[in-house]
Structure 1
Amino acid sequence: MTPLDRFSGHAGLYAQYRIDYPADLYDFLMTYVTNRQMAWDCATGNGQVANVLADLFEQVEATDISETQLLLAVKKSNIHYQQSQAEHTPFSDHTFDLITVAQALHWFDINAFHQEVRRVAKPGATIAEWGYGLVKAGPDLDKLIVDFYRNRVGPYWDPQRVHIDNAYSSLPFPFADCQVKPFTIRRSWPLDRFLNYLRTWSAVRQYIHENEEDPVNDLGDVLKPLWGETERELTFPVFLRIGKVN
């Protein structure tokens, strides 16, 4: 199975405008972790999760299939980046105390990935998989954003996007002590910042590729009189599942 790379072509936008995750998610995650020697952040992208884990673990290994993303990733002395598929890694057996994958699991061959997790995890290690759903910007804007998401760029999403909409509920998670927990990302953004975030969506990039026009521009024209010159309070629903590798 050839891995899908939907983000190398706009790695700069991705590094600048993608959101990061709330502190309470990491606080909760660490209650599951016994040892803090080695962590693996799989599909690290711009390294935003690896960056946090580097302050919590002695060493962080961070992998991605995109060389371009890795070149732009956050650098710290105890983070080692390398290009690798999620399902086949260069790591030794029983290496990691924690394995994380954020907003990427739906791109994987999940059974092969979980088999690799079992190989490289220490006995009793923690596996955490999470993602986030469609942004909410307020009752006056949400219908417009949903229409853009489902109708304007909806046909350009990969089929795997359904797993985000379903909060990974249809994907297997064959690990012990499983717990599912929601979190919320809260941001205050001006309109331009929000529109550039939308431009990181893989469906928007595919739309631009096929039609040679940016659909976000039209949405921006509609949103501008409603958004105004001030910042808007935005929320992103986060879904996390966590368990133990036995």
Structure 2
Amino acid sequence: MKDRFSDKASGYAAFRPKYPETLFNHLYTHTKAFDAAWDAGTGNGQVAAVLAGKFNRVYATDISIKQLMKVPNMANLSSFVADEAAPQISDASIDLITVAQAIHWFQVDKFCDEVSRVAKPGALLATWGYGLIQLPSAYQPAVDRFYSKVVGPYWDPERKHIDNSYADISIPFKELKPSEHFEMTYKWNAESLEGYLNTWSSVGNYVKEKGENPVPRLISELTSKGLPAAFEVMFPLFTRLFRV
């Protein structure tokens, strides 16, 4: 698994969008018990921390020690370094497995084998992600060009799975039909937008190759177009749920 986020741990914790309560409530309606959950590819633990408010025990795993250092300290939340497999978790012990904005980095076959091992019969596997940030229409074309033209060549190949809403990722469990649509909407300022864009793996790859950061130029362009002090941003959220 590639580690694209250890050097962005602080920015990731500060600027990445938070998932809506309605999403978690949706997951809970499909979860049969609340003894234990596993959040794989947890990053800074934002999902794991929410789950810890519902489950007796939550396991949060990631390949990045720096990311795991940002996981909240909670009595029923255990975090440890692991890739797609988590041998620290007992067989047939997990009621809910979550992967948020991360399964496109996984060796999916290896991960699904581990899901089969740790899941209780009938456990829920929930994987989700979010697409390109949406700004007010006057400013979106500049963001679209930045995404596809400026840093487009610097996205890892795995990014295509996000663009396809994970539809092209094969998961060998019974898929539940989607019943709800989710999105994340916020009031941001230019600083929030700049901080978020700096967490993009493509921006990191661009900086490593060219030795300069393209984000400030985009922020300047948006500002010159009249970007207000506060503006609405929206992230389209896509989900796939499976019964194990």
User: TM > 0.5 between the two?
Assistant: yes
Q: Could you tell me how far 1:207 is from its partner in structure 2?
A: 0.7
Corresponding residue number in structure 1 for 2:64: 66
Report SS of the residue matched to 2:72.
coil
> In structure 1, what is the Cα distance between the partners aligned to 2:87 and 2:220?
45
Say whether residues 1:157 and 2:155 are aligned partners.
Answer: yes
Q: Could you tell me how far 1:89 is from its partner in structure 2?
A: 3.3
Corresponding residue number in structure 1 for 2:231: 232
Say whether residues 1:45 and 2:43 are aligned partners.
Answer: yes
Counterparts of 1:77-96 in structure 2 under 5 Å?
Answer: 77-96=75-94
Q: Could you tell me how far 1:87 is from its partner in structure 2?
A: 3.3
Q: Could you tell me how far 1:39 is from its partner in structure 2?
A: 0.3
Of 76, 94, 105, the residue aligned with 2:103 is 105
What amino acid maps onto 2:184 in structure 1? I
1:143-180 deviation per Cα after TM superposition (whole angstroms, max 9, x unaligned) = 11010000100011000000000000011122225233
The answer (yes or no) to whether the contact 2:68–2:80 under 8 Å persists in 1 is yes
Say whether residues 1:147 and 2:145 are aligned partners.
Answer: yes
Corresponding residue number in structure 2 for 1:184: 183
Q: Could you tell me how far 1:210 is from its partner in structure 2?
A: 1.2
Question: Segments of 4+ in structure 1 off by > 4 A?
Answer: none
Say whether residues 1:207 and 2:206 are aligned partners.
Answer: yes
Report SS of the residue matched to 1:140.
coil
Corresponding residue number in structure 2 for 1:221: 220
TM-score (norm 2): 0.96
The answer (yes or no) to whether the contact 1:87–1:116 under 8 Å persists in 2 is yes
The answer (yes or no) to whether the contact 1:191–1:227 under 8 Å persists in 2 is no
> In structure 1, what is the Cα distance between the partners aligned to 2:232 and 2:128?
22
The answer (yes or no) to whether the contact 1:98–1:126 under 8 Å persists in 2 is yes
More deviation, 50-59/217-226: 217-226
Of 111, 127, 130, the residue aligned with 1:129 is 127
Q: Could you tell me how far 1:228 is from its partner in structure 2?
A: 3.6
> In structure 2, what is the Cα distance between the partners aligned to 1:216 and 1:97?
41
Of 28, 31, 54, the residue aligned with 1:33 is 31
> In structure 1, what is the Cα distance between the partners aligned to 2:229 and 2:87?
46
After superposition, the Cα gap between the structure-2 partners of 1:123 and 1:108, relative to the gap in structure 1 and judged at 3 Å, is same
Q: Could you list the runs of 5+ residues in structure 2 that have no partner in the other structure?
A: none
1:11-46 deviation per Cα after TM superposition (whole angstroms, max 9, x unaligned) = 111111111101110111000011001000001000
TM-score (norm 1): 0.96
The answer (yes or no) to whether the contact 2:39–2:59 under 8 Å persists in 1 is yes
What amino acid maps onto 1:144 in structure 2? A
1:163-221 deviation per Cα after TM superposition (whole angstroms, max 9, x unaligned) = 00000001112222523353100011001111110000000011111111110011011
> In structure 1, what is the Cα distance between the partners aligned to 2:226 and 2:58?
40
> In structure 1, what is the Cα distance between the partners aligned to 2:216 and 2:154?
17
> In structure 2, what is the Cα distance between the partners aligned to 1:54 and 1:176?
26
> In structure 1, what is the Cα distance between the partners aligned to 2:85 and 2:77?
20
